[in-house]
Homo-oligomer: A and B are copies of this chain.
Amino acid sequence: MELEPAFARAGAMVFSNAGAFRMSPEVPLLVPEVNAAHLGLLEVQRHHHGWTGGIITNANCTATVLVMALAPLHEAFGVEAVLMTSMQAVSGAGYPGVPSLDILGNVIPFIRNEEPKVEEETPKMLGRFTGSAVELAPITVSALCHRVPVIEGHTEAVSVKLKGNPSLDAVREAFLSWRPEPQRLGLFSAPAIPVHVHTLEDRPQVRRDVERDEGMSVHVGRIRVCPILGLKFALLGHNTERGAAGGSILNAELAHAKGYIR
């Protein structure tokens, strides 16, 4: 038996980092900067099941980092398609996780179940809450996931098709001016700047940038034209902070600020 519904029935708010309920239509796949409104699904859960608590999940680490960068673009322009190639840290596999014989001096072009998760979870996270459900965003996602010999931090090479093909300046401005709900509310674990825009030509770099803001912000750099989809950029985020435990804590802070935890 899954534990989450039992706890929710008993009145607990469950903030889960596990995969089981992420794609359940009644469960928010929450990244506070991206889809705070999805918290409204808690009412749906309570109404349907008679729970006094509820279930909130955070997403796959790679998808979480990705939507942090896509959200300001989706809000400003509308995202139509995303092609993302990841270079993921070994900490994402837990402990003991990846054997050193497999990854020292190597790149592994496969992480079990990772690509489908990114491709499914992204449209849910960027979807619209209608009052009773989350409508998946009409975004086509292609993920190509790799393991690399890095301890903490996922690097993502992102190519995006935006509506109206905005200029690079407009894209930069969308990142820089983004001030979503956790920042407006001043939540304790919310970084002041959720997306850092790097201008040095060879940044962001995982070993040099990922620990900034205790791993709760993400990093965008090398914003440039993609001759196929229109826009490409480098992206970096912390898989075990923003992409796991830290994300769940921020989820709890948002739920508390919104009155869902008494």
Interface residues of A (CB under 8 A from B): 81, 83, 85, 87, 90-91, 95-110, 119, 140-142, 144, 146, 148-151, 155, 157, 159, 201-208, 221-222, 226-229, 232, 234
Contact A207 B106 (CB under 8 A): yes
Contact B109 A205 (CB under 8 A): yes
What 3 A-B pairs have minimum CB-CB distances, sorted nearest first?
A: A96-B99, A85-B85, A109-B234
| Assembled-state Cα–Cα distance A108/B209 (Å) | 11
Contact A150 B105 (CB under 8 A): yes
Show 17 residue pairs from A and B whose CB-CB distance is below 8 angstroms, ordered by the A residue.
Answer: A85-B157, A97-B100, A99-B99, A99-B100, A101-B151, A103-B104, A104-B105, A104-B150, A104-B207, A105-B151, A105-B207, A106-B207, A107-B155, A109-B205, A119-B227, A142-B229, A144-B157
| Assembled-state Cα–Cα distance A227/B226 (Å) | 18
| Assembled-state Cα–Cα distance A146/B151 (Å) | 17
Q: Which residues of B contact A99 (CB under 8 A)?
A: 95-100
Q: Which residues of B contact A81 (CB under 8 A)?
A: 228
Copies in the complex: 4
Q: Which residues of B contact A144 (CB under 8 A)?
A: 85, 157, 159, 232, 234
Smallest distance from the beta carbon of A203 to chain B beta carbons, Å?
8
Smallest distance from the beta carbon of A210 to chain B beta carbons, Å?
10
Contact B208 A141 (CB under 8 A): no
Q: A87-B87, A101-B90, A101-B95 are in contact. Are A141 and B106 (CB under 8 A)?
A: no
Contact with A205, one of B91, B107, B203 (Cβ below 8 angstroms): B107
Smallest distance from the beta carbon of A144 to chain B beta carbons, Å?
4
Contact A100 B205 (CB under 8 A): no
Q: A99-B98, A148-B87, A157-B109 are in contact. Are A142 and B104 (CB under 8 A)?
A: no
In the complex, besides A98-B101, A104-B105, 8 extra interface pairs with C-beta distance below 8 angstroms are A90-B101, A90-B104, A100-B103, A104-B104, A104-B149, A110-B222, A144-B157, A228-B229
Q: A157-B146, A159-B83 are in contact. Are A97 and B107 (CB under 8 A)?
A: no
Q: A87-B146, A101-B90, A103-B100 are in contact. Are A108 and B205 (CB under 8 A)?
A: yes
Smallest distance from the beta carbon of A146 to chain B beta carbons, Å?
7
Contact B100 A202 (CB under 8 A): no
Contact with A100, one of B102, B140, B142, B222 (Cβ below 8 angstroms): B102
Contact A91 B101 (CB under 8 A): yes
Smallest distance from the beta carbon of A14 to chain B beta carbons, Å?
28
Contact A109 B226 (CB under 8 A): no
